Chains A and B, each alone.
Chain A
Amino acid sequence: MIRIKELSVTYKSLGDSCDALRNMNLELSIGETCAIIGPSGCGKSTLLKVLAGIIKDFEGSVEINGEPVMPHKQKIGFIPQNYGLLPWKNVSENIRLGVKIKNKKYAEDKEALAALLQQLGLRGLESRYPRELSGGQQQRVALARAFLLKPDLLLMDEPFSALDAMTREEIQNVFLDVWRKHSVSMILVTHHVEEAVYLGRKIVIMSAFPGTVNTVIDNPLFGVEDIRNHRDFFELCLTLRKMIKEDWSKWEKKQREFGMLPAY
Chain B
Amino acid sequence: MGKKTTRVWHAAGILIVLVLWHVTSIWVNLPIVQSPWLVIVNLCNIFASEIAIHSFYSLWRILAGVLLAVVVGIPIGYCMGYFEKCDTILSPIVYLTYPIPKIALLPVIMLLFGLGELSKILMIFLIIVFQVIIAVRDGVKSIPKETYYPLYSLGAGVIDIFREILIPASLPNFLTSLRVAMATAISVLFFTETFGTQYGMGYFIMDAWMRVNYLEMYSGIMVLSSIGLILFGTIDYLERKMCYWQYK
Seen from chain A, the residues whose Cβ lies within 8 Å of a Cβ on chain B are 49, 52-54, 70-73, 75-82, 84, 86-90, 97-98, 101-102, 128-129, 131-132, 145, 149, 155
B16 beta carbon closer than 8 Å to chain A: no
- The answer to whether A80 and B248 have CB atoms under 8 Å apart is no
Chain A residues within an 8 Å CB radius of B154: 71, 75-76, 78, 98, 101-102, 149
Chain B residues within an 8 Å CB radius of A132: 248
Q: How far is the CB of B144 from chain A (nearest CB, A)?
A: 8
B169 beta carbon closer than 8 Å to chain A: yes
Interface size class of B (residues with CB under 8 A): 20 to 34
- The answer to whether A71 and B152 have CB atoms under 8 Å apart is yes
Q: Which 8 pairs between the two chains have the least Cβ-Cβ distance?
A: A72-B155, A71-B155, A78-B153, A52-B153, A84-B150, A88-B168, A129-B248, A88-B245
30 A–B contacts, CB within 8 A, in A order: A49-B149, A52-B153, A53-B152, A53-B153, A54-B153, A71-B153, A71-B156, A72-B155, A78-B149, A78-B153, A80-B150, A82-B146, A84-B146, A84-B149, A86-B147, A86-B164, A88-B169, A88-B243, A88-B245, A89-B245, A90-B245, A97-B151, A97-B164, A98-B154, A101-B151, A102-B154, A102-B155, A129-B248, A131-B245, A132-B248
Cα–Cα, bound, A87→B147 (Å): 10
Which of B149, B156, B157, B160 contacts A80 (CB under 8 A)? B149
Chain B residues within an 8 Å CB radius of A98: 150, 154
Chain B residues within an 8 Å CB radius of A102: 154-155
B206 beta carbon closer than 8 Å to chain A: no
- Looking across the interface, which residue of chain B has its beta carbon closest to that of A97? B164
- The answer to whether B149 and A87 have CB atoms under 8 Å apart is no
